């Protein structure tokens, strides 16, 4: 019996999952073909709705879709990609509490969809202490930190200390930063009403952005509208301002005095997965260059999509933007080309033009540019919710989110902490104890 044709997809984000979904419905049915998806998490995280989890508008499970329930015929492995050897056509995975267990996979076709990681640009203190907004854990931690600061501030009599405790700085005025600052501002200010010792003046929310206008992807008009709307809601906008570090003095800037903030949320930069930098592929801005069929030139059977790929746009001559709407379509198209290659049929070039971009800037306010038409305010907010609700995988999740949004119209946000401060030490102790125990049983002789 001949060896199986092995298709290996690395990454469980939009690009990787939508590629795996197409493969699962097509060639994964073939007994002679083996499809495997490797992911760091066992779910797809719907990242556009991440700020709503941080703000308490949605529950943790509302925006995650379990991979094993979506992929019926695909092997799903939860592990870290440690190394890739294109010459030997092998991938080494690391798993376990300490990532000390290894597994080697061989492949005939390799799809790289590892996405991006947060880049802190080697700024002192930022990587060690700043919060981020890339994962479900990030949203949970931020929500708990905000509530913890409110609880502590309510016990403090010194107004200066109380204000420092309730000062939050968001670095980066792109989509992630603006949506995070809008959601955080609504959440903290609404919650502050339940703390008699905390006043509206105690809360300070700052957005720092290196350019003159936030949301540059949407154009100057919508960017300035977003700035005015956020400012009206109490957000302090600092444009042309770059974070230079995070220390005991607070958040430090290249321009201006530092801000004595207890919490810095970093959304100001990303970089492709570190393991990709060791590969011998041509790169542009650290992203793997692919041809119009999404295959890596000079390496037959190796493909790349999403944030980690530099995909040519034949209409503009530039690389396509690393957005979710591009990644999922690239993943699906790449899967079709992999199927065509295996079946001996011709590959087709990938072509897609951005349909539009949207951002919410707080409760019942948003900005949008769809097919060249600009929208703002309540209409844009409604469009954002309608469009992303349709894009959310699985009917069950759509129903849960729609119900949560409906209840949010009538009831206040839940202010219960998921993990309280006195529990953190106990949880850390248990995790350390688990790491010290061997993951696999020790072999016995005899």
The answer to which of 66-80, 100-114, 347-361 has the lowest mean pLDDT is: 347-361
Structural domains present in the chain: 5-40+79-118+271-342 (3.50.50.60), 126-268+356-408 (3.50.50.100)
Q: How far is CA 75 from CA 9, 20, 28, 72, 394, in A?
A: 10, 10, 10, 9, 20
Q: If you average pLDDT over residues 165-185, what whole number do you get?
A: 96
* pLDDT for the residue 1: 41
Local structure of 143: helix, strand or coil? helix
Instruction: With a cut of 90, say whether residue 411 has pLDDT above it.
Output: no
437 — pLDDT class (breaks 50, 70, 90): low
Q: If you average pLDDT over residues 87-110, what whole number do you get?
A: 94
Q: How far is CA 102 from CA 42, 294, 318, in A?
A: 18, 29, 39
DSSP label of 414: P
* pLDDT for the residue 418: 74
* pLDDT for the residue 24: 98
Instruction: With a cut of 80, say whether residue 439 has pLDDT above it.
Output: no
Instruction: With a cut of 50, say whether residue 445 has pLDDT above it.
Output: no
Instruction: With a cut of 70, say whether residue 416 has pLDDT above it.
Output: yes
434 — pLDDT class (breaks 50, 70, 90): low
Q: If you average pLDDT over residues 423-434, what whole number do you get?
A: 61
Contacts for 431 with CB less than 8 Å, ≥ 6 apart:
none
What are 279-302's pLDDT values in tens digits? 999 999 899 999 999 999 999 999
Higher pLDDT, 433 or 236: 236
Q: If you average pLDDT over residues 116-128, what whole number do you get?
A: 93
* pLDDT for the residue 355: 84
* pLDDT for the residue 412: 86
**Total-model pTM:** 0.91
Instruction: With a cut of 80, say whether residue 444 has pLDDT above it.
Output: no
* pLDDT for the residue 354: 84
What are 365-398's pLDDT values in tens digits? 999 999 889 999 999 999 999 999 999 999 999 9
53-62, 268-277, 298-307 — most confident range: 298-307
Instruction: With a cut of 70, say whether residue 433 has pLDDT above it.
Output: no
Q: Where are the beta strands (DSSP E) in 197-301?
A: 204-208, 235-238, 243-247, 250-253, 263-266, 270-272, 283-284, 287-289
Secondary structure element (H or E) that encloses residue 148, with its range: helix 136-153
Q: In this structure, are strands 131-132 and 167-171 parallel, antiparallel, or unpaired?
A: unpaired
The answer to which of 115-124, 282-291, 389-398, 408-417 has the lowest mean pLDDT is: 408-417
Q: If you average pLDDT over residues 349-356, what whole number do you get?
A: 89
The answer to which of 2-6, 196-200, 320-324, 394-398 has the lowest mean pLDDT is: 2-6
Secondary structure element (H or E) that encloses residue 427, with its range: helix 421-436
What are 219-250's pLDDT values in tens digits? 999 999 999 999 999 999 999 999 999 998 89
Question: What percent of the chain has pLDDT above 70?
Answer: 93
* pLDDT for the residue 284: 93
* pLDDT for the residue 435: 63
Q: If you average pLDDT over residues 413-441, what whole number do you get?
A: 67
The answer to which of 161-165, 215-219, 374-378, 413-417 has the lowest mean pLDDT is: 413-417
Instruction: With a cut of 60, say whether residue 57 has pLDDT above it.
Output: yes
97 — pLDDT class (breaks 50, 70, 90): confident
Q: In this structure, are strands 43-45 and 64-66 parallel, antiparallel, or unpaired?
A: antiparallel
Closest CA to 115 of 305, 244, 256, 381: 305
Q: In this structure, are strands 283-284 and 131-132 parallel, antiparallel, or unpaired?
A: unpaired
* pLDDT for the residue 3: 82
Three-class secondary structure assignment of 183-218 = HHHHHHHHHHCCCCCCCHHHCEEEEECCCCCCCHHH
Average pLDDT, the chain: 92
């Amino acid at each position: 019996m001949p060896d199986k044709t092995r298709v290996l997809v690395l990454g469980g984000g939009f690009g990787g999952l939508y590629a795996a979904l197409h493969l699962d419905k097509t060639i994964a049915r073939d007994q002679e073909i083996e499809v495997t998806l490797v992911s760091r998490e066992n779910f797809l995280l719907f990242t556009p709705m991440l700020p709503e989890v941080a703000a308490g508008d949605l529950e943790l499970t509302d925006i995650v879709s379990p991979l094993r329930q979506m992929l019926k015929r695909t092997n799903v492995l939860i592990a870290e990609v440690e190394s890739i050897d294109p010459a030997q056509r092998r991938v080494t995975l690391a798993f376990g509490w300490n990532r000390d267990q290894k597994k080697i996979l061989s492949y005939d076709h390799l799809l790289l969809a590892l996405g991006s990681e947060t880049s802190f640009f080697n700024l002192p203190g930022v990587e060690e202490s700043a919060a981020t907004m890339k994962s479900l854990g990030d949203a949970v931690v931020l929500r708990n930190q905000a509530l913890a600061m409110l609880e502590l501030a309510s016990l403090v009599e010194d107004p200066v200390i109380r204000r420092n405790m309730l000062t939050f700085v968001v670095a980066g005025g792109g989509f992630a930063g603006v949506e995070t600052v809008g959601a955080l501002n609504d959440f903290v200010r609404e919650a502050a009403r339940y703390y008699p010792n905390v006043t509206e003046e105690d809360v300070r929310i700052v957005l720092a952005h290196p350019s003159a206008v936030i949301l540059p992807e949407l154009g100057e008009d919508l960017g300035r509208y977003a700035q005015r709307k956020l400012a009206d809601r109490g957000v302090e906008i600092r444009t042309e301002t770059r974070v230079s570090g995070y220390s005991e003095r607070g958040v430090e800037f290249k321009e201006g005095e530092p801000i004595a903030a207890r919490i810095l949320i970093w959304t100001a930069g990303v970089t492709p997965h570190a393991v990709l930098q060791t590969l011998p592929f041509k790169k542009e801005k650290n992203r793997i260059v692919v041809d119009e069929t999404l295959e890596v030139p000079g390496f037959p059977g190796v493909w790349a999509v999403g944030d980690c790929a530099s995909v040519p746009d034949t209409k503009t001559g530039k690389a396509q933007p690393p957005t979710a709407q591009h990644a999922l379509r690239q993943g699906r198209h790449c899967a079709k080309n992999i199927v065509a290659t295996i079946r001996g049929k011709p590959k087709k070039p990938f072509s897609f033009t951005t349909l539009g971009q949207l951002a919410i800037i707080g409760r019942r306010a948003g900005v949008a540019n769809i097919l060249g038409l600009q929208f703002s305010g309540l209409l844009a907010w409604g469009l954002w919710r309608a469009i992303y609700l349709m894009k959310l995988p699985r009917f069950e999740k759509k129903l849960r989110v729609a119900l949560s949004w409906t209840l949010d119209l009538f009831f206040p946000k839940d202010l219960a902490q998921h993990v309280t401060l006195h529990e953190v030490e106990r949880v850390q102790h248990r995790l350390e104890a688990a790491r010290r125990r061997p993951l696999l049983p020790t072999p016995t002789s005899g």
